[in-house]
Amino acid sequence: MTQDVSISPELIGQLIDGTIDNDNAQRLLRLERKDKGRFFQYIEALQQRVAWKEKILLRLGDKLYIVASAPGQRIVKCACGHEFGDYRQNWKLGCRVRVKRSLDDMLTVYDPAPACPEPDIQEIREFFCPACATQHAVEVVAPGYPVVFEMLPDLDKFYREYLGQPLPDEGTDWYQDRSDDVTREWAKAG
């Protein structure tokens, strides 16, 4: 096992792809935590794995990213290229959704049966990209419960205060939940 503390782009790539070996995984775990450069190495490796050019600001899921699509625009984008819109609006509202309500339906994804949610008290919602059908999220909630907004990051605070590299379109109105704008439009469309 090497004592080299540098991390190659190949190693970061193996970490992302899940092919890293145990020795190297242990070595990464032992490195100094506050190594800010590693975040940008990670972003660069992610960027090489997508077919589009918009700059990735943060990864939300295996195939889901917040990207800077144009000056002053931060949107959620699927690896396939589908754009969900402004990252302040819950991207799940732009998904195809499958809801499992019956015990039979739930048992298709739960095993063993005792682990299964209880019909009428809970439902399983599966969220898919409308373009490539990647399943981006699953939530188990009470029927009627609002769609869960899993993560609204304060990107400006993260880039300025943690990474020390403020974003060029930094502003005070980024860190706001704008999901209501979407449902308001739905209500108008009736």
d(CA 54, CA 66) in angstroms, rounded, equals 10
Region of 6-14, 50-58, 65-73, 129-137 interacting with Zn ion (CB under 5 A):
129-137
With CB under 5 A as the contact rule, the residue among 25, 70, 132, 142 that binds Zn ion is 132
Q: Least distance (Å) from Zn ion to the CB of residue 47?
A: 17
Rounded Cα distance between 51 and 59, Å, is 15
Minimum distance from residue 132 beta carbon to Zn ion (Å): 3
The answer to whether 11 touches 24, Cβ cutoff 8 Å, is yes
Asked if 75 contacts 65 with a C-beta cutoff of 8 angstroms, the reply is no
Minimum Å gap between C-beta 77 and Zn ion is 9
Q: Name residues whose C-beta falls within 8 Å of residue 11's C-beta, 6 or more positions apart in sequence.
A: 20, 24, 28
Binding marks (x or -) toward Zn ion, 83..122, rule CB under 5 A?
----------------------------------------
Per CB under 5 A, does 129 bind Zn ion?
A: yes
Pairing label, strands 135-141, 123-128: antiparallel
Q: Which stretch binds Zn ion (CB under 5 A): 72-80, 87-95, 116-124, 150-158?
A: 72-80
CA distance 71 to 21: 40
SS3 labels along 83-129: EEEECCCCHHHHCEEEEECCHHHHHCCCCCHHHCCCCCCCEEEEEEC
Total of chain residues touching Zn ion, rule CB under 5 A: 7
**Binding of Zn ion at residue 76 (CB under 5 A)?**
no
Please answer whether residues 95 and 86 qualify as being in contact, where contact means their C-beta atoms are separated by less than 8 angstroms: no
Q: Binding residue for Zn ion (CB under 5 A) from 15, 16, 50, 80?
A: 80
131 binds Zn ion (CB under 5 A): yes
Binding residue for Zn ion, selected from 78, 95, 124, 155, defined by CB under 5 A: 78
Chain residues that interact with Zn ion, rule: CB under 5 A:
78, 80, 82, 129, 131-132, 134
